[in-house]
Structure 1
């Protein structure tokens, strides 16, 4: 039973961490390197994450400077940024790429808020799936007579507590992201 609960908790923690990473990629009014975490650029004959082939630095609140480790990847990085849904316009300046972030419109802020809510709901579904899988494992222990019903009932209560805690974490992260997005 402890193994089932530990595995469920680990998977739920991974879902929360993944959601935080996803939220880092949603643009707010300020520049931050996490915006580029999910972008892939063509390098050395394959698609690679931008942070593996270049350094991403924030020059100021509205400017990101990307310096490729290998100058031959400059144009593929620029193309990946241009084709992304970040809404930034990259400009090659010698051996670096400058990305200036325009002001977010009210409509764009609402779109990003809706996207954040969708990602949060996906995370909650993932957490619930982990809970269901763990509950099935606990029910199997009772069915196979490897554990008593009272023990399993206590374990299920622990599982519910773990699930509620993770869902609350997702809600808190979502609330913070929404306030960050709607802040002018």
Structure 2
């Protein structure tokens, strides 16, 4: 082996990044169950700037089918309600003093199927990202072999390691999708 080696840790880190991105996208999918991450994409127009909702109030889950936002500044309550209503999440917030209550409605069968398709699309994007990382690693190996930095045998060994990393991360993506599908289809 020479000084120039394939950085398998970097490849694994990038593959894990694709999996983490998938999990955060899954967290934002509404499944009929309350989760504080449901409000993560909501930004509120206060103090002359757009701020994430968790910087304007405390987001909580008082009941399985209810979210609440305890707004810290009374002047921002209506702005928080408007931001939630206009976020395109299909939620209908109700004001209760400085507390904004957000009931999570039941999902119908058609909406569940749509969400399952969206989840599958997110999973496929994550698989593509993992495969792109694999391709980058294999291209790097080819270049290193061409430049005589590694032998043909080392190339084969590294290529097998890159492929096993790819297989492991793709199977983790598939497991995450399976879990999310069960959660979405649960009535």
TM norm structure 2 = 0.91
Q: CA RMSD in A?
A: 1.6
Q: Deviations over 1:90-112 (max 9, x none)?
A: 12221121101111111111111
Q: CA deviation at 1:69?
A: 3.1
1:54 and 2:61 matched: no
Cα distance in 2 for partners of 1:70, 1:123 equals: 39
Aligned length: 184
Cα deviation, 1:6-60, whole Å, max 9, x if unaligned, reads 1110011011011111111111121111111222222333323222332110011
Shift of the alpha carbon at 1:153? 1.1
Which structure would you say has the larger Rg?
Answer: 2
Confirm whether residue 72 of structure 1 aligns to residue 75 of structure 2. yes
Contact 2:93 2:100 (8 Å CA) reproduced:
yes
Give structure 2 stretches of 5+ with no counterpart. Answer: none
Which 5+ residue runs of structure 1 have no aligned equivalent?
Answer: none
Q: Is the 8 A contact 1:23 1:177 kept in 2?
A: yes
Does the CA-based 8 Å contact 1:56-1:66 persist in structure 2? Answer: yes
Aligned to 2:133: 130
Contact 1:4 1:137 in 2 (8 A): no
Q: Residue 88 of structure 2 corresponds to which residue in structure 1? A: 85
Equivalent pair of 2:6/2:141 in contact (CA under 8 Å): no
Q: Distance in 2 between matches of 1:145 and 1:117?
A: 42
State how far apart, in whole Å, the 2-side matches of 1:175 and 1:2 are: 36
Q: TM-score, normalised by structure 1?
A: 0.93
